């Protein structure tokens, strides 16, 4: 008896140690997600190993997350079929390997958050740290703060530790929205602590001079504020949301006005603020390529092969729907469309329910909507944070499913047949 009682604390300590190590491993993966200068990035290499190790030691895919796995794998099967249409494979196998890895990363994050919801807070905090770090690099690069800092810029725009400012900017939206959420709902005393990282991230988004990132941040912020307003029936809380929103917007507006006084910033802002650029409306510009691509999709139901469109017309599709048709065929297109509709509808159904994980779902959901909207004008199929968003949302869907199952046994037996009949 004494031996058993002696072993119990040791088992508890071991379990806590394993939990701590696994949580730290997941957090490190999120920290690495802000540094993607080349493919495969350290994030891919590290996360591939982490997913494999976690799978060996009991990674469980919950039943509600199975559609996420099936649809993402089916989409990639479409890409493999599309690859058969190519005369020269070039780097296509590596491209599809990254696509498949990202699909598994979404399933991984859905699985770990569904079994350990306390990871949500750690993931979001790590994301904020990563975003602040890469934002500072981008800002330093834009202002040539130190020798060699220009490596963190591209096209005279802040790119941070990313290949493209048009990916760098959208990457920063979720942590920015999360900090905004904390400001709108937290104590006034914490506002200065939250304002500093929010301003750094907002500056990173601004200096990326990505029209999509600007619009995405604005739309996500409006959606967040509107949903918070609808969620609460308290007049005092609604008044607080309005006041805090005005305060946050005023702070951002003042910051932008100050930034615009810096040499060269106003000219770049004026140039990038136009809805249409020359490369959008040229004879074979972005919009013309949309029409050409969708016509090609009717003639090539299996697609034309990943990345082939860009070799033909000099620029890639710059549209996620056209990207799916060209690179993954109709099979990939239908799979991705189904996944997006399913994610939006299933997420919306549980969006405003009072749960411990609801704040994280809310932030991930509005950022996901922004990413999908932006995907109409840019390729998002290899954006790491897109798959993280999918995982976070589907993790919450799985948690809600489990929560509802726990409630069922508490109902009187007379109610159970009626529920089963439904």
Nearest to 99 by CA among 307, 296, 314, 302: 307
Confidence of residue 417 (pLDDT cuts 50, 70, 90): very low
Helix (H, G, I), strand (E, B) or coil at 412: coil
Q: What is the pLDDT of residues 80-136, one digit of tens each?
A: 999 999 888 888 898 999 999 999 999 999 999 999 999 999 999 999 999 999 999
Question: Residue 162's beta-bridge partner residues?
Answer: 36
Closest CA to 181 of 196, 191, 167, 168: 191
User: What is the CA angle 38-40-46, rounded to 5?
Assistant: 120
Closest CA to 391 of 117, 113, 122, 175: 113
Q: Which residue has the tokens 């951002």?
A: 252
* 8 Cβ neighbours under 8 A, 6+ residues apart: none
Cβ–Cβ under 8 Å, residues 399 and 113 = yes
User: In Å, what is the CA distance from 352 to each residue of 195, 240, 246, 391, 396?
Assistant: 26, 18, 23, 19, 12
> Is residue 314 in a domain?
yes
**SS3 of 306, please?**
coil
Answer for the pair 47, 101: CB distance below 8 angstroms, yes or no.
yes
Question: Total structural domains in the chain?
Answer: 1
Q: What is the pLDDT of residue 284?
A: 54
Query: Does 420 have pLDDT greater than 50?
Result: no
**Residue 228 maps to a domain:** yes
Q: Return phi, psi of residue 157, to 5°.
A: -125, 145
Q: Token pair for residue 256?
A: 């932008």
pLDDT tens for residues 145-201?
999 999 999 988 999 999 899 999 999 999 999 999 998 888 878 888 998 999 999
Structure tokens at 384: 């790491």
CA distances from 217 to 13, 24, 36, 362, 379 (A): 43, 29, 21, 14, 18
List CB contacts of 364: < 8 A, sequence separation 6 or more.
Answer: 174, 389, 392, 393, 396
Over residues 248-259, the mean pLDDT reads 79
| Torsions phi, psi for 352 (to 5 deg) | -105, 15
Q: What is the pLDDT of residues 402-415, one digit of tens each?
A: 989 888 765 455 54
Residue whose entry in the numeric block shows the structure tokens 């690099």: 137
Name the token pair of 371.
């990413």
Residue 215 to residue 206: CA distance in whole angstroms: 11
Residue 251 has pLDDT above 90, yes or no: no
Residue 266 backbone dihedrals phi, psi, to 5 degrees: -60, -40
- Mean pLDDT to the nearest integer, 390-397: 97
**How many Å apart are CA 384 and CA 395, to the nearest integer?**
17
Residue bearing tokens 């750094």: 200
Whole-number Cα distances in Å, 34 to 136, 233, 236, 384, 395: 12, 38, 38, 9, 22
Q: Is residue 421 part of a domain?
A: no
Q: Which domain does 149 fall in, by range?
A: 11-403
Whether 420 maps to a domain, the answer reads no
| Buried b / exposed e along 33-66 (16+ C-beta atoms within 10 A) | bbbbeeeebebbebbeebbeebeeeebebbebbe
Is position 377 within any domain? yes
- Strand stretches in 23-155, DSSP E: 153-154
pLDDT-based confidence at 418, cuts 50/70/90?
very low
Pick from 134, 169, 170, 167: nearest CA to 152:
134
219 and 173 in contact (C-beta within 8 Å)?
no
- What is the number of other CB atoms lying within 10 angstroms of the CB of residue 233? 7
CA distance 380 to 385: 10
pLDDT band per the 50, 70, 90 thresholds, residue 292: confident
**Between residues 17 and 7, the one the model is more confident about:** 17
Taking the C-alpha atoms of residue 297 and residue 357, their distance in angstroms, rounded to an integer, is 41
Over residues 378-390, mean pLDDT = 92
Asked, for residue 5, whether it belongs to a domain, the answer is: no
d(CA 375, CA 76): 18
Q: Quick check: 113 and 392 in contact, CB under 8 A?
A: yes
pLDDT at residue 326 above 60? yes
Q: What CA–CA distances, in Å, run from 144 to 89, 138, 267, 400?
A: 40, 10, 18, 48
Looking at residue 69, what DSSP letter applies? H
Residue 95 and residue 346 in contact, taking contact as beta carbons nearer than 8 Å: no
Do 105 and 384 contact (CB within 8 A), yes or no?
yes
Looking at residue 422, what is its pLDDT? 42
Instruction: Give the lowest-confidence range in 62-66, 326-330, 348-352.
Output: 62-66
- If you search the block for the tokens 């020798």, which residue do you land on? 147
On whether residue 358 sits in a domain, the answer given is yes
Q: For residue 241, name the pLDDT band (cuts at 50, 70, 90).
A: confident
Q: Which of 146, 94, 102 is nearest to 386 (CA)?
A: 102
């Amino acid at each position: 008896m004494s031996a058993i009682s002696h072993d119990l604390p040791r088992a508890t300590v071991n379990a806590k140690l394993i939990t701590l190590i696994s949580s730290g491993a997941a957090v490190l993966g999120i920290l690495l997600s802000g540094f993607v200068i080349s493919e495969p990035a350290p994030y891919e290499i590290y996360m591939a190993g982490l997913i494999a190790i976690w799978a060996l030691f009991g990674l469980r895919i919950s039943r509600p997350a199975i559609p996420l796995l099936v649809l993402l794998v089916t989409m990639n099967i479409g890409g493999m079929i599309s690859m058969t249409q190519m005369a020269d494979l070039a780097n296509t196998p590596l491209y599809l390997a990254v696509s498949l890895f990202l699909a598994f990363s979404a399933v991984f994050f859905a699985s770990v958050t569904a079994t350990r919801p306390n990871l949500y807070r750690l993931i979001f905090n790590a994301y904020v740290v990563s975003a602040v770090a890469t934002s500072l690099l981008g800002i330093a690069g834009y202002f040539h703060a130190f020798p060699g800092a220009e490596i963190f810029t591209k096209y005279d725009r802040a790119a941070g530790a990313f290949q493209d400012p048009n990916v760098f900017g959208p990457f920063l939206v979720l942590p920015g929205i999360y900090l905004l959420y904390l400001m709108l709902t937290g104590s006034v005393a914490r506002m200065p602590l939250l304002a500093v990282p929010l301003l750094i991230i907002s500056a990173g988004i601004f200096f990326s001079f990505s029209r999509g990132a600007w619009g995405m941040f604005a739309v996500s912020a409006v959606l967040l504020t509107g949903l918070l307003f609808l969620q609460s029936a308290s007049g005092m809380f609604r008044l607080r949301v309005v006041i805090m929103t005005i305060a946050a917007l005023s702070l951002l507006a003042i910051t932008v006005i100050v930034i615009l006084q810096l040499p060269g910033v106003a000219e770049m802002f004026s140039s990038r603020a136009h809805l249409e650029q020359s490369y959008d409306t040229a004879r074979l510009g972005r919009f013309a390529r949309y029409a050409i691509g969708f016509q090609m999709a009717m003639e090539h139901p299996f697609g034309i092969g990943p990345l082939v469109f860009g070799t033909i017309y000099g620029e890639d599709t710059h549209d996620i729907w056209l990207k799916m048709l060209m690179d993954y065929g109709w099979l990939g297109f239908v799979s991705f469309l189904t996944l997006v509709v399913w994610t939006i509808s299933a997420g919306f159904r549980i969006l405003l329910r009072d749960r411990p994980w609801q704040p994280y779902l809310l932030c991930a959901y509005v950022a996901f909507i922004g990413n999908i909207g932006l995907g109409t004008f840019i390729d998002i199929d290899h954006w790491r944070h897109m798959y993280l968003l999918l995982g976070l949302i589907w993790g919450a869907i799985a948690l809600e499913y489990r929560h509802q199952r726990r409630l069922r046994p508490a109902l009187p037996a007379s109610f159970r047949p009626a529920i089963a009949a439904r």
